[in-house]
Amino acid sequence: MCAFGCSANWQRGKPKQIQNQTRKHTKKALDLTSQRDPCGVSASVTTSKHANTTQSKARAGSDSARNGLSSVETGGGTSERGLHGQRLGMDNKDVLFTKKMRIVTREIHGVSDALINAKIGFAMSADRVWAEGLLVFYEVFLYLEGALDRYSHTLIGEVDVPGMRRKEAFEKDLAYYLGANWKEGYTPRESVQQYLKHLEKLEEENPYLLLAYVYHLYMGLLSGGQILRRKRALLQKLKFSRKESMEGLAVTEIEGSVSKMKKEMADAMNHIAEAVDEDLRQRLLEESKMVFVLNNNMVHSIEGAGAVVTFKIIKFGICGAVAVLLFTYIRKFWVG
């Protein structure tokens, strides 16, 4: 995960003068969170121009990360007027932090949606593809929920909205598709291991950076996950399967109001953003983009989706050819 990660120890060895300056900048955030942070987890993270440059170079080591970040940072074809509007939104202190998170991830989020639709959405009628999609994201959600437990006494605990956790739901679905003993001999694939290493480095540097992943992943599951749930349930009904149409969809099953849960999570994220300093807010925006880069890297690793899509294209092609031949035959029969 080195290609994606930023050094967890980059603050070590900094000149004392810089350390003193950064302590002054982070004092406000530390004061705001000291009552919620008895374990001493800092709500601020000191960043420097050199550190950001180093982090950017490290991330460029992966082709997928490079392509994703390039699209975000250059605007990906966005008009000059559109970029100007985005800059105004980012500079406006009255704009909610969650809106800024949406603005900075707009381009890469679009790429991610297209990839998921191509890899999972179009091939979601195949249990194997759906199960693989669950499997790659399971470890990430498992890690994040462990972090929510570890830092429940800090401001991080505010985003842990009741009913949002998905660990048990993932395991229920995976047992349904892969069998009760699916964990035996299971080892996360390389793309998942890279993701987890990046999360570990962020937690060592500053656990608050994990908030970008918690917010985007759970919001995505509450939004896009519901759409995929309805599509897959419909496909199962169309297959006239004997199985219950909602079996294997526990991870997308939300008790209570989804909109209320999303609002509570957004309110918590905005409250935390107000409590921390500007350096940490900027780092959270940077990591917001990285969420989708790493997601895309995992989705690329899902096997079987391409074969399902190819099969469907061939099937549609054959059906189309038969339809044309049938139409031609009927026309000749009637016309004579």
| Residue 216 pLDDT | 97
From residue 320, alpha-carbon distances to 10, 125, 129, 168, 312 in Å are 60, 21, 26, 44, 12
Q: Are 34 and 199 in contact (CB under 8 A)?
A: no
Q: What is the largest CA-CA distance in the chain?
A: 95
Give the CATH fold of the 16-303 domain: Heme Oxygenase; Chain A (1.20.910)
Domain ranges of the chain: 16-303, 312-336
From residue 80, alpha-carbon distances to 50, 72, 75, 77, 112 in Å are 29, 14, 9, 9, 23
Q: Which amino acid is at 42?
A: S
| Residue 324 pLDDT | 55
For 9, which DSSP code?
Answer: T
Q: Which of residues 70 and 193 earns the better pLDDT score? A: 193
171-197 confidence digits (pLDDT tens): 999 999 999 999 998 999 999 999 999
Alpha-carbon span 85 to 286, nearest angstrom = 19
Picking from 18-22, 53-57, 309-313, which range would have the lowest pLDDT averaged per residue? 309-313
324-335 confidence digits (pLDDT tens): 556 555 656 666
The model's pTM is 0.66
Strand ranges (E), the chain: none
In whole numbers, what is the pLDDT of the chain averaged over residues? 73
Alpha-carbon span 263 to 258, nearest angstrom = 9
